[in-house]
Amino acid sequence: MKELNIADYYSKPLLLTENNNISDVIMGFLKQRIDVACIVDDSNYPLGIVSKYSLYRSILAGTSPDTPLKSILRRDVLTVNDKEGFRHVKDVLLQHNVAHGIVLNQENKVVGVISKSDIINGFLHETEILVNQLTGLIENLQDIVISIDRNNQIVAFNGAAEKVMLLKKEDIIGRNIEECFPEIAPYMVSTLDDLTTIKQKKVTLGPITGIGSFIPITYKENTSGALAIIKDITTLEEFAQELETTKNLQQTLQQAMALSYDAIIITDKQGRITLTNQAFLDLFELNDKTIINKKIEESVPVLGPFTDDPHQRKEIMTINNKTGIVTKEFIVHAGKEVGMIIKIISNQLDQWKELFYRMDKLESELNFYRSEYQKLTQNSSFDIIKSNDKKMANLKHQALLSAKNNSTVLITGESGTGKELFAEAVHKESGRKGNFVKVNCAAIPSELLESEFFGYADGAFTGARRGGKVGKFELADKGTLFLDEIGDMPLALQSKLLRVLQERNFERIGDNRTRTVDVRIIAATNKELYQLVQDGEFREDFYYRINVVTIQIPPLRERKGDIPLLCNHLINKLNDRLNKQVIGISPEAFTIIKEYSWPGNIRQLENILERAMNFDVKNWIDTIHLPLELIENKQSIITREVIPSTTAVVHNKHDSLNEMVSLKDSEKSIILETLESVQGNRSKAAELLGISRTTLYNKIKKYNIESNVYFNIK
């Protein structure tokens, strides 16, 4: 038990100064019912003490009650820290032969007074805690605990004893052991006179059979009582009976195996032979059972060790010029593999040869038809890339062909064109068994890239994860490593990756073990890598190493014929995610969408549709739900198209101006709606609209919104 400190046991101090008088001390003693006062300076640092005994002596000597305390102050006072333990403080008080000490905190300021009586109370509390812990331990033991004193009176009877004996503790405590439990009384009484022996006896106590340990309780070589701890072994005896039943079952199994016409052998989980029958010994021409307890691969090499390969669980093999069907299965108990059983059918197989032949033929035909059916029904992983564009169809076909080999693929294109979708489709169609591991070279700090790719060993550097870390190359073993934004990779790391791609091996940081991996690389970038090579910002050898198969995805503005298909696909996708029922896009809104240049490509299109669907859209996405940059783009197009020349052109101009008015009304409505949703907060409105505060101010002024809205604009 940890030693208690004095923090919770010292007395609250009566703090006075040297200028207080004897009357002040007397009043403080009476009020707080204490017998020591601490004299401190203005900063609460101790100067000394005045005890009731020094006060008595002063009064008997005729000292006036108005006398300042500095005349009777005792300055050579013992001080202790409030973090000290009781035993240490006790030793200090005894060593200095004093009855009181001043308790100081870490700043050496007075926080209390400790006396011998406080120390005693602390030790009594500590003793009480120990007694409670011992009592709790005895009460919570699963074994029966009974204790007696020197007069053979029962002083302890725990909860386990109450439960087993069906007796109440209050009915037992204080009674004679011989009266209550004559079965164990002789052992306990004899223990009182034997200080050195712990007796262990098998006893019957009430309804149980147990093993009793009888222990003398001693103090300073004198016996104060005896303790009996009785472990219930009734259940163990039941287990012994079950064990006997198990032995009988084992004998039955051995007899059944002996009568079996098939060869049978059983091993434990380590592969050691535990049981076999005569048919097995005869098949392998073994004369006796000397193979018991030996490894199966040592005694019967042809069977070999058991594996998880389902093709090796059932197979046909020739054993001593006899054809046999070997079946291997795990023996599982409580969800764990505890052994293996092997059965070999080797007799009368000639009669089955024709049947086996026909079964093999049928299986071959079935595999052929299954393969052909899969070819007809299997969809390509590239179907997830939605497009009606011929150029995109050629790219998907090219990517599908490249997926069948292990060549490095470089996917280029602007941000948001779907480079990652192409990479995942290539991996899925490649048939590689490993994982598809993605690394964004621009999102990881340059100083962490090497550890991300190659991992590190345990203790490789300060702060390293215990046990080390597996790098991306190991995670992608037998699979594909997708290097997104490869144009942002540091030159130093490019050289290391080049070595791994050429040699197919690497070492973790801080490790000298070389690891071999089989990883296919797919890289992607929205930068012009060749120009980076010319500028010295990208290694030329690394560029040609990754630029084997190139897939250049065109931007959305070059295949605007895909926009209707993409919008329909994305709206269905967003309906599921946002729990909406949007039917589509109105003709006016779709005209704006189709004429936009889409610098963010498909990702931007999806974000704008998602933003629009977060408005109170019922069935159709309309112009009012589109962001300002699309509407402003439409206005700019209309303005450029207004050319006043002939009468026909003037007519078109009026049509265009009418459309401009409609778009302006839509823009004004969007601004009003947004300002209302944020209670007129311009900063929040500008953030939601995706424009600067200055642009928002200009549009508020342009549309005279400030004088029309009914709320206060902030």
- Which percentage of the chain shows pLDDT scores above 90? 9
At 35, give phi and psi (nearest 5°).
-125, 15
Statement: the pTM of the whole predicted model exceeds 0.75? no
Question: Is 255 found in the same domain as 224?
Answer: no
CA distance 94 to 98: 7
Residue with the two structure tokens 């149980």: 208
**Residues 175 and 50 grouped into a single domain:** no
Q: Which two tokens stand for residue 499?
A: 């070595």
- Whether residue 543 sits in one domain with residue 470: yes
**Whether residues 209 and 149 fall in one domain:** yes
Instruction: Report yes or no on 516 lying in a domain.
Output: yes
Least confident residue range of 41-45, 203-207, 317-321, 348-352? 348-352
The number of domains in the chain is 5
Q: For the segment 658-686, what is each residue's pLDDT rounded down to a tens digit?
A: 444 445 566 677 778 778 767 778 877 77
Digit-coded pLDDT (tens) for 520-568 = 999 999 999 989 999 999 999 989 998 999 999 999 999 988 888 899 8
Are 388 and 491 contained in the same domain?
A: yes
Q: What number of CA atoms fall less than 13 Å from residue 23's CA on the CB side?
A: 4
pLDDT at 188: 81
Rounded distance, CA 675 to CA 340, Å? 74
Per-residue confidence (pLDDT) for residue 410, from 0 to 100: 94
Domain assignment of residue 20, yes or no: yes
At residue 437, the pLDDT reads: 92
Considering the domain architecture, whether residues 33 and 104 belong to the same structural domain is answered as yes
Integer Cα distance of 682 and 414 in angstroms? 33
Residue 371 pLDDT greater than 60, yes or no: no
> According to the model, what pLDDT value does residue 506 have?
85
Q: Is the pLDDT of residue 123 over 80?
A: no
Instruction: State whether 497 and 591 are in the same domain.
Output: no
Q: Is residue 288 part of a domain?
A: yes
Indicate whether 219 and 257 sit together in one domain: no
Stronger pLDDT, 114 or 475, i.e. the higher one: 475
CA pair distance 113, 310, nearest whole angstrom: 80
* pLDDT for position 312: 54
pLDDT category of residue 197 using cuts at 50, 70 and 90: low
Q: What is the pLDDT of residue 647?
A: 29
Determine, yes or no, domain membership for 456: yes
Using the 3D structure, point to which of 59, 91, 124 is the last residue of a domain.
Answer: 124
* Residue 377 pLDDT level (bands cut at 50, 70, 90): very low
Which tens digit of pLDDT belongs to each residue from 439-473? 988 888 877 878 888 888 876 666 667 767 888 88
Mean pLDDT of the chain: 78
Distances (CA, A) of 276 to 25, 169, 217, 265, 383: 98, 58, 57, 4, 57
The reply to whether 376 falls in a domain is no
Residue 393 clears pLDDT 70, i.e. is over it: yes
| CATH code assigned at 335 | 3.30.450.20
426: burial class by Cβ within 10 Å (0-12, 13-18, 19+)? Answer: buried
Residue 606 has what pLDDT?
Answer: 92
Q: How far apart are CA 66 and CA 61, in angstroms?
A: 14
3-state class of 68 per DSSP? strand
What stretch of H or E contains 559?
none
- The pLDDT of residue 656 is 39
Instruction: Examine the domain organization and report whether 412 and 534 are in the same domain.
Output: yes
Express each pLDDT in 136-192 by its tens digit: 666 666 788 888 888 889 888 888 778 777 788 888 888 998 888 888 888 888 887
- The residue range of the domain holding 260 is 250-348
Across the range 391-419, mean pLDDT stands at: 90
Distances (CA, A) of 504 to 407, 507, 714: 14, 11, 63
Residue 412 or 616, more confident = 412
CATH of the domain at 99: 3.10.580.10
Residue 479 scores a pLDDT above 80: yes
How much is the pLDDT for 655? 43
Q: According to the model, what pLDDT value does residue 245 have?
A: 73
User: Does the pLDDT value for residue 645 go beyond 60?
Assistant: no
In this structure, are 70 and 203 located in the same domain?
Answer: no
| Residues 647-655, mean pLDDT to the nearest whole number | 35
pLDDT at 552: 93
What average pLDDT does range 186-208 have in this prediction? 76
Residue that wins the pLDDT comparison between 85 and 635: 85
